[in-house]
Amino acid sequence: MNQKYKARIQKRLRAKIVIAVIGGLAVIGTYIIKLLNTTVDFASIDAYITGFFFGIEGVCVMNIIQLRKLLKDENALEEMVIYEEDERNQSIKLKSYSSTISFMIWLLSFGSIISSFFNQVIFFTLASVLVVLLVVSSLYRWFYTRN
């Protein structure tokens, strides 16, 4: 059982490394495009993209460090197995996720109605996010009730 969990942790580690590399390449690519093409004005989105990807990089690096420490320490690995596979913790996560999805749907609905009075672009953005959230949550609900 520990070997299966170790393999799962190694998959997570590889995924985090790939995400960190892609994020770093995106930041580097943005600056290369900016240097090569002086007519394009990235001033409005440059700081946003950089901050967004540095945030992703920071989270990924912290997760990579945590996962590597976990793979080196058998006791910590065993504690993590117990924590992640505990039925009580899974029940708490399930209840909190369903409450969060319901709250997000309500919040996006309210926000899209209010934003429709002020800005059409924001309205369509919030409405699109709401539709995607409804479709994804409906598909998950359909999948899990079917099984």
pLDDT of residue 83: 81
Q: Please tell me the predicted confidence (pLDDT) of residue 45.
A: 62
DSSP string, 39-70: SS--HHHHHHHHHHHHHHHHHHHHHHHHHHHH
| Per-residue model confidence as pLDDT tens digits over 97-106 | 878 888 888 9
Low-confidence ranges of the chain (pLDDT < 50): none
**Residue position matching structure tokens 């117990």:** 82
- Give pLDDT, residue 43: 59
- Cα–Cα separations (whole angstroms), residue 20 to 47, 52, 77: 18, 12, 23
**Per 3-state DSSP, what percentage of the chain is helix, strand, and coil (rounded to 5)?**
90, 0, 10
Q: How far apart are CA 123 and CA 114, in angstroms?
A: 8
pLDDT confidence of residue 84:
78
In whole angstroms, give the CA distance from residue 147 to residue 130: 26
CA distance 47 to 82: 42
In sign, the C-alpha dihedral spanning 28, 30, 31, 36 is positive
CA angle 43, 45, 47 (to 5 degrees): 80
DSSP output for 74-93: HHHHHHHHHHHH-HHHHHHH
